[in-house]
Structure 1
Amino acid sequence: MKKIYLFFVFCLFFSTVSAETISCPGNKQIDQLIDKGTALNNEGGNKEALKLFQKANDLAKAIGCEKGELNATRSIMMFYFNTYDYKKALEISNRARELAMSQKDYETLSSLCSRRGASYDELGLYDESLKEHEAAAEYMKLIAEPDKRHYQASLVYYNMTPYYQDRSNEKVLYYLKKSREEVLKINNNSKDIPLEKKIDMLVSINMNLGIHYRDRNNKGRNVKLSEFHFMEALKQFDLVKGDVLPNTKIDLYQALQEFYQMKKDYKKAIEYGENMLILEKSNSMPYNRRVGYMVLAKSYLGIGDHATSQKYLDLFSKLNDSINSAEKDAVEAPVKKIISETKSNGEKKIKGIAVISFVIIALIISGMLIYRRRNHKIIHKKYEELIAKIQHENENSKVKPEAEKNNESNGVKSSITITDETLKMLLFKLEKFEASKKYLRQDLSLTWMANSLSTNTKYLSEVIKNNKNHNFTSYINELRINYIIRMLYENPVYREYKIASLAEECGYATPRVFVNAFKQQTGVTPSYFVEQLKVAVNV
């Protein structure tokens, strides 16, 4: 999902596919095919699952069983949704909606509209997305059984939160709370909604409330409330004799792992990360495993265990390469199929187009290569200057004569408005500030810093301008970028971090601001700097 932070929206839609009663009396095969297909799909057997859903659909049509056809059709729709073919999912959902309307199955209609809303959102059709979510809420109100209605209402509100993500933090919070209110209305002894299903929903809602309050980009960020909701999610596990969905527990452990790593409580981060990996072994969730490896690498580094940190970093790199390769194959497979089919229909035409395209592309590429070579020389020169500067600073920092230190103190620029004594005291405090690395705080501001140094913003700005040759923003940027450059140069682990993680590490709220500040100060992008460091190590 293209979101600021990850919502663990689980697909309960699939859990309702198998009818509680036989879809088609006299023919259990349809339900058996759907159940088997659902199980295969959960295990990653996508192609086999789709064949079984289609077989069930054909069989239901042949015997004129609309309920069986509806169950099979929405299973096919969910298959395409989960494989990111949102246009196909919407196309299939039209037939499912017709069947649900004819049967007055408002629960299914509500779920279908929620999923259609999510599909439109992924396609960037936001007006259509909102209409579908609103329709889901209207159909939900028509469900006769109270517990089913409350559960569906909770699910509808829950699925509306990703729509408002990046648009309104207030509405995200509003709908998560509404979702929680509805699920709490369900009777624990309900004959319609098993307790495990209710608890699973509660765990997911509390988990996402924890993520919401943890988010650095949320103006209402509250770490204490974040931890409270994470603990509430953990408590829910004790309320059921059976178990909630393994995926939900894995997601929660990963959220807790990231939360405690953010708090620098590395021991707890390691505990939840290791527990998550144990559960993941029997459930195969490679994306969770990938995040788990990276957070564990950071956490072990945080407690000074460099060997274990490197072990998890190596595991992360291997898995990341494997996932990227699999995703590439998944994208290339349909493309190759299209090319193959097109060749059989008109190979000569394709060759002619290919030749023309090749000539045009070759001309474009040759022009780009000339430009890139020139540009690369300029950028690489800046990189070399940056490395030389770091090495020079390292040499000077080993032995710094007392005379030089005295010269530095004597180089203080006097001020008309600030007394010499106050000026020297402020410069001393600035040195302490730089040594403490408080410039890495994301909430750092001129006012906060002035209060921290027991002065006012006017004096602080003047001292920074006259003695650091910067305004406040460029001064902080220089400190932050110099810090992350040194960490990248000295610690290979940092070279494996994503740009977003590097930005967070040195105090930037967004990767974009970090990249701009890095390039403005160094003349190169952080990605280029990291690539060149890796090349230098391998040479």
Structure 2
Amino acid sequence: MKKKILFLFFVIFFMHIHSQTFDFENKYKYARSLSNKNPDSSEIVLDQIIEFAKKENQPNYLAKAYYLKSFNSYLKSDAKTTLDFTEKALHISEKNNYPVGKALAYRMQGTQYAKLGLLKESSESLNNAISEVKNDNTDEGHELKGMIYNSFLILLNQKEYAKKEYYSKNAIQEFKKIKNSARRSELLVSAYTNMGYTFSEIKRFEEAKACFKNALALVGIDNNYLRCNILHDLGFSFSEQKKIDSAVFYYQRALQIANIYGFNEKKIEITENLEKAYGKLNDPANAKKYKIEHLELKDSIAYNQKMAVNKTLSAKEKKFDEKLSESHSISKGLIAVCIILILILGIVIFKAIRIRKKHMEIISQVYQNGITPISYEEDIQESSEDHETNKSITQDIKISPELEENILIGLENFEKSLHFNSKNISRYNLANELNVNTKYLSLVIKKHKNFNFNQYINHLRINFIVDKLKNELQYRKYKINHLAEITGYSSHSAFSLEFKKIVGIHPSAFIKALDKV
């Protein structure tokens, strides 16, 4: 009994464990918050997200995880790794048509390019980023647009104050539209800090002070990266106000945070400003100290940056070569297609000329000699009466000259009256009209017209309509089905088939050729 209870317990426990799905959204948010506090801690969570995203086929979270990894590498001034992860995020997002992932990757790519001095490439990437989410009015869309506007600031030089103010204000406006208050406050910190820096550059210190105050009020106590940024920019503001002691104080506090959490990208900027500040304080020892530290930092990442630049330029060159090769292949293909089309066109033109020539020969012959009677092959499905008539002919059925003459006169009147165009005409009807039996009628038609009855009627009808088409222009304006109706055919297809058999071309082609004569 105890074993059964234990077994049941383990089954329930096992099912409970497997029923719990991996919470991608909350894990991603947690990793993102850790990126600003301690990038190394964030990496542990991101590796977990990547592992589960691959297992559970979650490409969107896989792309976002690689984007965050690129951001963490950027904070450490590892340009090559930053671009490697952005490429992964971009590839996954493009493959799965995920605009948010593409925007994130393009934004990080553009930011890193700007740091490497690849300003043209940076501008292209940032514009690609904004185009991916320009119509996205969700919280995530507003967040991304604000972040991209912030990234545009890196492209601008010190004198482009109007543009800096424009992008900073746009970033603030986008962040203010976010409904999630915690995320809105977190993002507004960087926007207010950037705005304060811009105001400090143009000596609008009261406005700068208000911006820094807003940023400090919103930043979380453990948001180390943003706090480091605010302290540095406060130092810059005091430096612009010639309050160098205050500037050094804030620079040192910012440097302390950057040292603890490995924000190498920010350390380069802070040590450079500390060197300048101590120089203004006539403190050559500290000025030299931070100059050396600044140069050592730059040297430590110079090789990495050089590799990243070379890789980027090589990738662009490779893409250019691929496009050029593709262009050459397409050109060769187009040339081959053009040659084939020219050959086909030549064949079509040649055949068209031959057909036209043949049609004109037929028209010329019709004008000169009329319709030439055609010789029919024996019809396997010929009617039983036609078989009887053929037997009679072979057996030399005797018919008096007077009766034969009367039938011929009757046929002449029949032809003059155009009664052959009647839909109801048949061998029996015509025999009754001429007061003879059908065998004698068929015998005379075969002997003097060289046709069986149906062939005789068809020739009369087609000859009639050809004469009308030749001599009366209004007939050429009629549709084929109307011409068929005039000549007693039940359908335009039957008329067209018989016309082509007797004349040699389709009635529409015959009419077209007549118009050219």
Q: TM-score, normalised by structure 1?
A: 0.42
Higher relative contact order (CA 8 A, sep 6+): 2
Q: TM-score, normalised by structure 2?
A: 0.44
More helix by share: 2
